[in-house]
Structure 1
Amino acid sequence: MTRVRFQADADLRQAIVIGAIRRQPGLDFRSANEARLESIKDLEVLAIAAQDARVLVTHDRRTMPTEFGQFIMTQTSSGVLILSQSLPISEVIAALILIWEASTAEEWINQIMSIPF
């Protein structure tokens, strides 16, 4: 059983990354800045997350689902989690910690999920 590791997309609010790590210090959540994802196309972002076995966490409901579908036709993804921007940050953080505690990295392979559903 491998723990879920997260990768923030460039559009994800940094407060989510900081807050999640503060609430759960054991959480492995790499910021977009750390991964140098600014101005990189979705397919390349998905490749970077997959290469590092990280679930990509994004707010991008517009293009990411289509790009994800194209990506998994030829490569394996570590998964994508799309978060609504309208949710309070505290709820998003609680959901991320629950995912980290209750699922494994293997369960996320080639999966995409939105919160709220």
Structure 2
Amino acid sequence: MTLKYLMDENVDPVYVTQLRQQAPDLVVRAVGEPATPSTGTKDPEILLWCEEYEFILVTNNRRSMPVHLTENIAQNRHIPGIFILSPSLSIGKNIEELILIAQGSFDDEYQDQIVFLPLTQVGDVRL
């Protein structure tokens, strides 16, 4: 797994705990931990940190994050990506999505993009 996740401070801490338990090879950090942005850091500064340290931001901020990403790109900055958790999925399903994405993604696959979970869809398979 080459993707690294930075969990926004408003994401339930159980995500960090469960991701670390279920995918120990996945690098997962949370805002407020040592060597990460401190709690209360503004979103544009978090995006700069993610760019510098090559972390994908995982957040539940659907409202202002598109604006921040647009501003970031306008300044000729680049971010590895932003994943927005689905409020309609359980924590467990969101975690499964994050692990599947990390296991099956290429470097820079999500650069300068906002990805809304879920990426996978379970439905009828018709042959």
Task: Decide: shared fold, TM above 0.5.
Answer: yes
Could you say which residue in structure 2 is the equivalent of 1:28? Answer: 27
Residue pairs, 1:75-114, within 5 angstroms: 75-114=77-116
Shift of 1:85: 3.2
Which structure 2 residue ranges, 5 or more long, are not aligned?
A: 120-127
Secondary structure of residue in 1 paired with 2:40: coil
| Counterparts of 1:111 and 1:3, CA distance in 2 | 17
| Counterparts of 2:37 and 2:52, CA distance in 1 | 14
Larger fraction in helix: 1
Secondary structure of residue in 1 paired with 2:62: coil
Could you say which residue in structure 1 is the equivalent of 2:47? Answer: 46
Residue pairs, 1:5-24, within 5 angstroms: 5-24=4-23
- Most deviating of 29-38 and 57-66: 29-38
| Counterparts of 2:88 and 2:12, CA distance in 1 | 12
Identity of aligned residues (%): 30
Q: Which has the higher contact order (CA 8 A, sep 6+)?
A: 1
1:66 pairs with 2:60: no
Specify the code of the residue in structure 2 equivalent to 1:19. Q
Which structure 1 residue ranges, 5 or more long, are not aligned?
A: none
- Most deviating of 103-112 and 40-49: 103-112
Shift of 1:62: 1.2
Is this contact kept in 1: 2:97–2:118, CA < 8 A? Answer: no
Q: Stretches of 4+ moved more than 4 A in 1?
A: none
Specify the code of the residue in structure 2 equivalent to 1:31. A
Specify the code of the residue in structure 1 equivalent to 2:94. V
1:35-77 residue CA offsets vs partner (Å, 9 max, x unmatched): 1331111100111111100000001011111111111122011
Structure with higher Rg: it is: 2
Specify the code of the residue in structure 2 equivalent to 1:13. D
Is this contact kept in 1: 2:7–2:31, CA < 8 A? Answer: yes
The total of aligned residue pairs comes to 116
User: Under a length normalisation based on structure 2, what TM-score does the superposition of the two structures give?
Assistant: 0.84
